[in-house]
């Protein structure tokens, strides 16, 4: 009887933990309205996308993966699953929202205000992120 009770408690605990992790993964992240309305000041070009890709490879691919699927080498170590940037839900965000999220960060996603201090460089990164759609 004690083994059955222990097994039941273990299953319930595992379910609660798994549900908690799922809630963390699905936690919505919305940029403030004023930031979301910010307009990308860097025109999309081959040069801008190439500059953004270089920043991506340096700062982002270890978590988000080379193609933005959230499958980078460090992704499994994080508390939350990195977003899949190829999905329509991600790509439907405004450029201003993406700029905000890169700049400010949240939870496992670090702020890049100091690592990428030039605004034009973050806009280049946003331009590159737009190439990751399916």
pLDDT surpasses 80 at 85: yes
Segment 2-16 mean pLDDT? 51
- Find the length of the chain: 134
Give the per-residue pLDDT at 27: 77
Could you write out the three-class secondary structure of the chain? CHHHHHHHHHHHHHHHHHHHHHHHHCCCCCCCHHHHCCCCCCCCCHHHHHHHHHHHHHHHHHHHCCCCCCCCCCHHHCCCCCCCCCCHHHHCCCHHHHHHHHHHCECCECCCCCCCCCHHHHHHHHHHHHHHCC
What's the confidence (pLDDT) of residue 10? Answer: 46
Share of the chain above pLDDT 70, in %: 81
What domains does the chain contain, in order, with CATH numbers? 29-132 (1.10.760.10)
> pTM of whole model > 0.75?
yes
Specify the pLDDT at position 134.
79
Record the tokens describing residue 131, joined without a space: 């190439």
Tens digit of pLDDT for each residue in 21-64? 443 445 789 999 999 999 999 999 999 999 999 999 999 999 99
What is the spatial distance between Cα 112 and Cα 89, in angstroms, rounded to a whole number? 23
Q: Which residue has the higher pLDDT, 119 or 4?
A: 119
């Amino acid at each position: 009887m004690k083994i059955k009770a222990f097994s039941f408690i273990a299953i319930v605990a595992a379910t609660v933990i798994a549900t908690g992790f799922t809630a963390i993964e699905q936690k919505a992240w919305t940029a403030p309205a004023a930031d979301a309305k910010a307009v990308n000041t860097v025109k999309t070009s081959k040069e801008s996308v190439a500059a953004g890709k270089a920043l991506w490879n340096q700062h982002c691919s270890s978590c988000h993966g080379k193609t933005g699927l959230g499958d980078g080498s460090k992704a499994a170590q994080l508390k939350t699953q990195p977003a899949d940037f190829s999905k329509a839900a991600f790509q439907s965000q405004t450029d201003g929202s993406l700029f905000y999220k890169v700049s400010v960060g949240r939870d496992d996603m670090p702020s890049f205000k100091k690592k990428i201090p030039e605004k034009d460089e973050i806009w280049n990164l946003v331009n590159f992120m737009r190439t990751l759609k399916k």
